[in-house]
Structure 1
Amino acid sequence: MNRNLAKYHFDQFIGEVLKRVPAEERKSFKRVVADSYETGSQNWTDGFGDTFRNVYGYDPKPWLPVLSGRLVGTADQSERFLWDLRRLVADRVGEDYVGGLRDACKPHGLELWLENYGHWGFPGEFLKYGGESDLIGGEYWVTGDLGSIECRAASSAANIYGKPFVSAEAFTGGPAFQNAPRELKSRGDWSFSEGINHFVLHVYIQQPAEDKLPGINAWFGTEFNRHNTWFEDSKSWVDYLRRSCWLLQQGHRAVDVAYFIGDDAPKMTGTRQPALPPGHDFDYINGEVILKRLTVKNGLLQIPDGPSYRVLILPELPTMRPEVLRKVSELVKAGATVLGPRPTRSPSLQNYPQCDEEVRQLAAELWGTGNLDQSGERKVGNGKIAWGRTLEQVFAEQNLAPDFQSDTPLHFTHRHSDGTDIYFVANPKSEAISATASFRAGSRAPELWQPDTGRVERPAVYDIAGSVVRVPLVLEPNESVFVVFRDPAAEPGQRVVSVNSGERTVLSTKPRDSQSETLRDTANDFTVAVWVNPTVETTLGEETAQGASSIMNSPRNEVFPAAHGEAFGGSKPAGCGLAVGKNGVTVLEHGGGYFAPTLVLENSVKGWTHVTVSYRKGQPHLFLNGKLAKIGVQSEHNVHLPPDSTNGKFGGQVGALQRFGRALTDAEIETLAGSMPQPGALLTQAAVKLVQNSKGPLEAHVRQPGDYQIHFADGRSKALRAGNVPSAISLEGEWQVAFAPGSGAPAKTTFDSLADWTQRPEMEIKHFSGKATYRKPFVIPQNTLRDSRIAARLNLGDVRDLAVVRLNGKPLRTLWIAPWEVEVTDALREGENLLEVDVINPWNNRIVGDLAQPEAARRTVLAAPTIKAGASLLAAGLLGPVQVRFEERIQLE
């Protein structure tokens, strides 16, 4: 709150470091980091009384007894003084602390990088706090819900204050030495959908010793240092992040709605009321940006160096500062659409009581003077003020389609850049999906940019419906793709709308009927279902609906964590979580000062089990394999439907989450358990893919032989026969395996068949961590590759956790995510071939094995004991099945 003291602090810390580094050697110093605010509340500083008087026009001293709990004047007047004080504290923290640090950085050629949120007494307003910094960052953890507030706080602040880069302190929380890139991807993709476009990986610690492995580690965080087993082979994953971040840094995010958070302070997040319909994106916006940066152009609310909005939503509050309401009135008259309740007074003591009269007069100009109906609207100038409406109703009146829609729930974000529309789409499920996605991109052709490989494909199967482009997508488990629109759509005679094989539809641009109820947040009445196969136990605890249970700090085998209620807003909100172990099931709730197991069932859970949690009027009901197993205690909170992802740190296997925005009946749950597919083979491949060849004609990539009918947008059809696709060749039998030297595992051994290392009888293989090389000679029969139209792919089945692939001595790719597949057409040959695969797993298994040994016999050294004795081993190795698969590539004349 004091700019001079902020500079003094900077000079005594950063300044002293810079004094000791010659100017010519400072090139690597770019930014000064201010981490999340965790230093308690503030309410006074030198000169604050004078600042208060200059801002509000009255002396605060007579009102200071209010801080001791006494009334000065009326209760309303005392509350108004407190409002003024809190608001000024938030402004000063932003302008003097953040702004002071920012200005102290500049003479040294440095920028301030700041996380614009805090805990344990954050006194600011998150948007202004971030807006005063050069660069803004959020944060998210590998598991749990931390990030549900922080990432959107950062991206909204960056959007409204014109900052193109939005960082995240990435993968902070989570068990060290247990995760590989495959476990990190889904959470990272989710952060992209929240507006993040730059990662600051947490944590990298210098490792001075060569003989102490893994070495120096933190008590939390994902270790990204050179002693991590997969560090040297992580370039493919890092390239994925680089490509994704670069694309998401282009232009600005496409957003339909701005939710005004109000001017109350302190504030760390906003609320979204009315609810945002699926397929639209939003920003939070504050009073400062409304006053200083928001204008109207062609009926859209415009940020000069940022996005435009279709609707500005006012908070469900009876108060608004006169100057903010005056600007809202100007925006409406200029053509904006504003949705929200009519304010009745100012929250401030400034210019009291005239301020209240001004609010009433301004409100009358917009909403009128009479009693308002439950919902309605008024035309004012060139714009419109509405109240009591849902956003679905508002968008329908604007004839506005969803920006993105899919018949299967997917994560997305969308950016505009110089006439190009860039959509990022990610499958949050741990199983492959086939979906028809709709993009509000006009009459343009889609391009599929693969961030994992850098390849760009131009699909020929898509359709145009008004302003919407429909594209069928086949996505592997947790796969993501950029769908880019640049060029005009092809003529109807060159656009394929469906492909059939007999009566079976192979590809179609027609969306399937989707269960829209699974996408809506409903408090106290909802259902979630999932298949689980736990391999570890979970802490159960005692059932309660009050307080913060000790289970909060105990190991939980979470299918999905309970999101903090602040992410939902409303009265006494809480998120719902689910933990399942071999010993039972726990349903969890998480809100402000509240973390409780409201349902606990001690029961053996073996093998694949269908678990359903149905909240009925705030009371959890648990079903196992379609049968009611237990009813929990009645919640005292408003419990919300969990997000559509299973992002807990779950020991075992877990399928996709299915959600319903209502409480299913017992009969419906029994039917669901019988009809919901049990997870099995995760790989789903389209039998045929059609692409627009760069040379002109369409090209069919056929993976299953047969007769196909191709239907074009102009009504024509064309027959396609593919009878030349060779059968897949399975690489079965013995594999030569060489484990890294010095590990205790054999330098060379033979596996009779592929197997999980942890299931091997040899203890040094069971507990091996690091790199092992698999070698397998195999034969491709003569004439298999005689036709130049035949292409070949190597599929490894499943790998734990990275695979560096070489074929006949030729390096191919490092695979780190499903489908564990690489094209081998140029490296494969008829006759003898030699496949080599380096497989790398994390440190966990070696550390667990060492903890069962006397200290003198251990090979690993940890600074912080983040893995405990007796912890579960993680599946490791090349699991397979390994196949060479073929496809025929046919040009369509």
Structure 2
Amino acid sequence: MANLFKEPPLSSKAGVYWYFGDGNLSKEGITKDLESMAKVGINHALFLEVNVGLPLGPVKMLSPEWKDMFAHMESESRRLDVQLILGTGPGWAGTGGPWVDVEKSMKHLIHTSVEIDANELPSIKLPIGEPKDRYYGTFHGSREQSQQRNDYFKDIAVLAYPLVAGTDQIEDIDEKALYDRPPHSSMYGVKQYIPMHANYENDEGSAIAVSSIIDLSDRLQPDGSISGTLPKGKWKIMRFVSRTTGAISSPAPVAGSGFETDKLDTVGISHHMDHFVGQLLKQINFKPRNEKSPYGGLTQLHFDSWEMGAQNWTENFRSEFLARRKYDPQPYYPVYAGAIVENREISERFLWDLRLTVQELIVEKYMGFMKKYAHERGLKLSIEPYDMTPLADMELGAVADIPSSEHWSIGYGFNTVFSIAQATSLAHLKGQPIVSSESFTALHDGWDLYPGRLKNQTDWALAAGINRFMFHTFQHQHLPDNLKPGATMGGIGVHWDRSQTWWEMGKAYHDYLARCSFLLQQGSHVADVLYLTPEGGPHVFRAPNSAYEEGIREASEAFYVNSSQELIRSSEVDFPALLPDKRGYAFDGCPPSLFYESKAENGRVVFPSGASYELLVLPATETITPRMLSKIKELINDGVTAVGLPPQKSPSLMDYPSADQEIASLVEDIWGDVSLIPSYEKRSVGKGFIIWGTEVAKNTENLYANYATTSAILASKGVKEDFTADGTIRYAHRNSGNYDIYFLSNRSGKPTNSICTFRVDGKIPELWDPMTGRVKDLKVFESADGMVKVPINLDSDESLFVVFRNSGTSTNVKGKNFPELNPIQVLDKPWKVSFDPNWGGPEQITFDHLIDWSQHQLDGVKYYSGCSTYHQSFNLKSKPRGSYFLDLGEVSVMATVKLNGKVVGTVWTSPWRLDISEFLKAGKNDLEIEVVNLWINRLIGDEYQEYDGVKNGRWPDWLTNGQPRPSKRYTFSTYAPYGKDTELHKSGLLGPVRILKSQ
């Protein structure tokens, strides 16, 4: 494992969202993109084509030329050992296209009504309800698709009932009936879940009796009239039709824009997969992969964030509902409109059953079909199960071979912390080694994000459980190489492509990530607490806020959208902190479908994967199904300790009211007499215990008992925290056979010296350095009572692994874990510095002292972007034994060091130093430091020149016609975030540059 840590396998390397702008493709650019990925340690590429940020190009999606380019892409990815991942449809979300007929699209059950006197029946004509708009606004398909949307409907039912006196309605009906599900990630105020109550207000005056409903469906005439008569009195007649939701593949290329497939049936998704994925597999003559296949090539399908909204109907929904819920839903169709049938509780229970049925159909008929389709072809399926999902996120993600999440760059987008907790929990429960994340997604990144700036957030994601970073975005560069920064997605995504100034130096960062990811892919996650998520959906799992250390709040904010679609800052709303780190007792969330696979062993909740937990925490919900409560009773009876409050009823109409009686019986078995609520009670149930009471109830956060409660319970059981430190250090812990692997990261923003305590018994700690791949003993530590204490020193944003693999206890060893480094020489003579004239810099210049380029008097330096080389010679009188380091002080933003003609390494974050022991010699030494900054300054400087770029959504004529460029600009980009008066970015080698020697 130590050898693989130093030179990680391809499976541990990072990936990118490889975006292509509608029709703008070139084989030469594809090859250069892939070669540049492989060169810097990126070996996974998710291919997506979108209509964002670029003018329309000439290569139409799925045309013969386009498919030939895809075949070239797949072939080149195999040659270069880059795994190619294919999105499941055009755009970045969903499965749709112009080949999807409106009949196979997502559906809503749309309702209209008329109120009449019985004698008016012959004269009325029932209107057809209009399609509903989605969260993202009005329909945005083509004119033909818009016509199809307006024309399509299918009659489902006509129901009549005596007019009731009251006007009460079920609140939030569009959300409860799944007409809409706004994004929980970005819109402030979207419910984490839809609560179910045990008791509701009495609405007898507004309720419709089921027995009073008359089915007029077979009496509906083509013109909307109703044949026959009705009994005397006033009636309300409701017409229910199926209409498309209007969801369109988004943001798809023009040639790939079309209706989203029905998510509740296999007909639409089967047709779509054959038409889109199937065509491409045929084009590349794809054969199922096996263990002997090369690493690269097409290996995986990917379903990205759910952004196509909700649906609540499909062709055979009534029969599916009846088979699953064991009762006919038709009498309850008025509840879709917010009407109250029988009473409010009955209606809410129907809506719960409606949402559960939708969830099951999506999991089985839609996502399950895609997984089967992939597996039959030797492919894996990754899923990013969050955002606008009309079902429980974790039930959606549980289908995946590789669960995925998303984290936005801090201050450049939205707070999606919850998605990481969901994806990592699923992987831990199922024993899946890979958890990927759409990484550092951004709004309005003006090339000002780079590895060093992202280091703290990188380590946060690693500690949270992410072990494959998929950077969003690597934009396909189809333009000539001299046109940089080149093509972009406008202000969407971090700029992580071969046009970056620091791209080749970025290999050092990618190597760091690969080493970290490799170790964090080993073995299984160590956690003590299991949070059971409620049944039904929609649901977003969020652990108690107190289960995390406080994260960033004010220094780096996120964005949200309020109900008026206005952008607001996270500091203005009550939302969880960014970058929260788990406390000493780690946790996972568990969806019901996986919970049923668990059993009790030695007092722990154990899963088939081997994942196990010391404490089960139940959600504080008023309702639960008998099946779920029976499973909970089984585990407790077999020895598990659980904490949680007793439920009161079933949430479903299934087996009503006998299900409620079964709940009451099970509650008595587990909690005892709930009429006498204790302050705090630990009640014996079989071999296990249930812990509950008012103290638990009042300390509930996000449905769960807070950290103080769960930690006290674990401590009382003799379970100590897995990791603690007297400094601000985050951690992750995995166990792999005889290995205990701890990842540590300094999150304080300043150097820290800490005593770290690990829950490891009888093993010796080693330091594994992910920057270099080196492994060394930690000489100073103390073992006692099943814990190991180790002094750890970390610089600002520094990280390391402490690995325990050999048996033993501490002895009186002389030395230090982290030797002191003292300066022996300061390199403060003038520096010879060379810039690239092709980017406006002087070919050679002398710096009498180190200076920020942006403060230099020469415009060629002041506005320079790219690489420059610093040169200085120095003498070392002698080279006594010991270790020597070159400390660069401050660098903006990265530097590669050569000493005596040999490459020492690249620095990209603190501490800005390299071990030069094997390169340093007595006498004269020649030092070269290649430094790179960001695109910002050159982009600002070019704003003083005439603009000659994209205008009115069209490429400039000089570029299209292959003519000389008319302006004197050095840069060319499809995104222009800067003006001439924008503040320049600090750049260059700022020092002081020193030689240090260890003591």
1:267 is aligned to 539
- Cα distance in 2 for residues equivalent to 1:67 and 1:457: 65
Q: Say which SS state the counterpart of residue 453 (structure 2) adopts.
A: helix
- Cα distance in 2 for residues equivalent to 1:807 and 1:260: 57
- Cα distance in 2 for residues equivalent to 1:62 and 1:154: 39
CA distance 1:386–1:273, change in 2 (3 Å): farther
- Cα distance in 2 for residues equivalent to 1:74 and 1:160: 40
Q: Describe the superposition over 1:275-316 as per-residue Cα deviations: whole angstroms up to 9, x where unpaired.
A: 56831111111211122x111111111111142111111111
Contact 1:259/1:285 (<8 A) preserved? yes
Among residues 185, 207, 218, which one is paired with 2:477 in the alignment? Answer: 207
Q: Say which SS state the counterpart of residue 250 (structure 1) adopts.
A: coil
2:163 is aligned to none
1:854 is aligned to 946
Contact 2:431/2:524 (<8 A) preserved? no
Contact 1:159/1:306 (<8 A) preserved? no
CA distance 1:39–1:491, change in 2 (3 Å): closer
Among residues 309, 312, 315, which one is paired with 1:40 in the alignment? Answer: 309
CA RMSD of aligned residues (A): 1.8
Contact 1:739/1:771 (<8 A) preserved? yes
2:917 is aligned to 825
CA distance 1:702–1:81, change in 2 (3 Å): closer
CA distance 1:72–1:164, change in 2 (3 Å): same
CA distance 1:869–1:102, change in 2 (3 Å): farther
1:834 is aligned to 926
2:725 is aligned to 406
- Cα distance in 2 for residues equivalent to 1:188 and 1:887: 29
Q: Describe the superposition over 1:126-178 as per-residue Cα deviations: whole angstroms up to 9, x where unpaired.
A: 11101112221101112245331111111112222332210001111151411
Among residues 395, 400, 403, which one is paired with 2:714 in the alignment? Answer: 395
CA drift at 1:868: 4.8
Q: Describe the superposition over 1:714-752 as per-residue Cα deviations: whole angstroms up to 9, x where unpaired.
A: xxxxxxxxxxxxx52000030000012311110100001
- Cα distance in 2 for residues equivalent to 1:275 and 1:451: 28
Q: Describe the superposition over 1:621-676 as per-residue Cα deviations: whole angstroms up to 9, x where unpaired.
A: xxxxxxxxxxxxxxxxxxxxxxxxxxxxxxxxxxxxxxxxxxxxxxxxxxxxxxxx
- Cα distance in 2 for residues equivalent to 1:202 and 1:225: 10
Letter in 2 for 1:343: P
Q: Say which SS state the counterpart of residue 501 (structure 2) adopts.
A: coil
Q: Say which SS state the counterpart of residue 277 (structure 2) adopts.
A: helix
Task: Tell me, yes or no, if structure 1 residue 14 matches structure 2 residue 277.
Answer: yes
Among residues 655, 660, 674, which one is paired with 1:356 in the alignment? Answer: 660
2:113 is aligned to none
Task: Tell me, yes or no, if structure 1 residue 863 matches structure 2 residue 974.
Answer: yes
Task: Tell me, yes or no, if structure 1 residue 379 matches structure 2 residue 652.
Answer: no
1:483 is aligned to 802
- Cα distance in 1 for residues equivalent to 2:752 and 2:820: 19
Q: Say which SS state the counterpart of residue 36 (structure 1) adopts.
A: coil
CA drift at 1:459: 0.9
- Cα distance in 1 for residues equivalent to 2:545 and 2:624: 17
Among residues 104, 109, 112, which one is paired with 2:378 in the alignment? Answer: 109
1:809 is aligned to 901
CA distance 1:18–1:181, change in 2 (3 Å): same
1:88 is aligned to 357
- Cα distance in 1 for residues equivalent to 2:980 and 2:633: 64
CA drift at 1:847: 0.9
Contact 1:794/1:885 (<8 A) preserved? yes
Q: How many residues align?
A: 658
Q: Which runs of 5+ in 1 are unaligned?
A: 497-687, 692-700, 705-726, 889-893
Task: Tell me, yes or no, if structure 1 residue 245 matches structure 2 residue 517.
Answer: yes
Among residues 637, 645, 657, which one is paired with 1:333 in the alignment? Answer: 637
1:304 is aligned to 608
1:138 is aligned to 405
Q: Which has the higher strand share?
A: 1
Q: Describe the superposition over 1:375-415 as per-residue Cα deviations: whole angstroms up to 9, x where unpaired.
A: 21101111100014411220121111111111112221111
Q: Which runs of 5+ in 2 are unaligned?
A: 1-263, 290-295, 549-581, 697-708, 948-966
Residues 648-727 of structure 1: pairs in structure 2 closer than 5 A: 689-690=816-817, 701=819, 703=821
CA distance 1:879–1:275, change in 2 (3 Å): closer
Q: Percent identity?
A: 34
Task: Tell me, yes or no, if structure 1 residue 313 matches structure 2 residue 313.
Answer: no
Q: Describe the superposition over 1:209-237 as per-residue Cα deviations: whole angstroms up to 9, x where unpaired.
A: 12211110112112222111111222111
Q: Describe the superposition over 1:524-563 as per-residue Cα deviations: whole angstroms up to 9, x where unpaired.
A: xxxxxxxxxxxxxxxxxxxxxxxxxxxxxxxxxxxxxxxx
Q: Say which SS state the counterpart of residue 447 (structure 1) adopts.
A: strand
Letter in 2 for 1:44: W
CA distance 1:865–1:491, change in 2 (3 Å): closer
Structure having the higher Rg:
2
- Cα distance in 1 for residues equivalent to 2:820 and 2:542: 50
2:426 is aligned to 157
Contact 2:840/2:970 (<8 A) preserved? no
2:529 is aligned to 257
Q: Say which SS state the counterpart of residue 158 (structure 1) adopts.
A: helix
Q: Say which SS state the counterpart of residue 232 (structure 1) adopts.
A: coil
Residues 527-538 of structure 1: pairs in structure 2 closer than 5 A: none
Letter in 1 for 2:438: E
- Cα distance in 1 for residues equivalent to 2:280 and 2:626: 47
Residues 529-568 of structure 1: pairs in structure 2 closer than 5 A: none
2:131 is aligned to none
Contact 1:172/1:221 (<8 A) preserved? yes
Q: Describe the superposition over 1:680-721 as per-residue Cα deviations: whole angstroms up to 9, x where unpaired.
A: xxxxxxxx7348xxxxxxxxx4546xxxxxxxxxxxxxxxxx
CA drift at 1:830: 2.1
Letter in 1 for 2:994: Q
CA drift at 1:823: 1.4
- Cα distance in 1 for residues equivalent to 2:929 and 2:765: 35
Residues 154-193 of structure 1: pairs in structure 2 closer than 5 A: 154-173=423-442, 175-193=445-463
CA drift at 1:345: 0.8
1:656 is aligned to none
Task: Tell me, yes or no, if structure 1 residue 462 matches structure 2 residue 781.
Answer: yes
CA distance 1:320–1:217, change in 2 (3 Å): same
- Cα distance in 2 for residues equivalent to 1:273 and 1:832: 58
Residues 439-838 of structure 1: pairs in structure 2 closer than 5 A: 439-494=758-813, 689-690=816-817, 701=819, 703=821, 728-781=824-877, 784-785=878-879, 787-788=880-881, 790-838=882-930
Q: Describe the superposition over 1:318-342 as per-residue Cα deviations: whole angstroms up to 9, x where unpaired.
A: 1111100000000001100100001
TM-score by length of 1: 0.72
Letter in 2 for 1:847: L
Q: Describe the superposition over 1:71-107 as per-residue Cα deviations: whole angstroms up to 9, x where unpaired.
A: 1111111110001111121222222221111112223
Contact 2:420/2:464 (<8 A) preserved? yes
- Cα distance in 1 for residues equivalent to 2:288 and 2:853: 48
- Cα distance in 1 for residues equivalent to 2:429 and 2:810: 39
Task: Tell me, yes or no, if structure 1 residue 236 matches structure 2 residue 540.
Answer: no
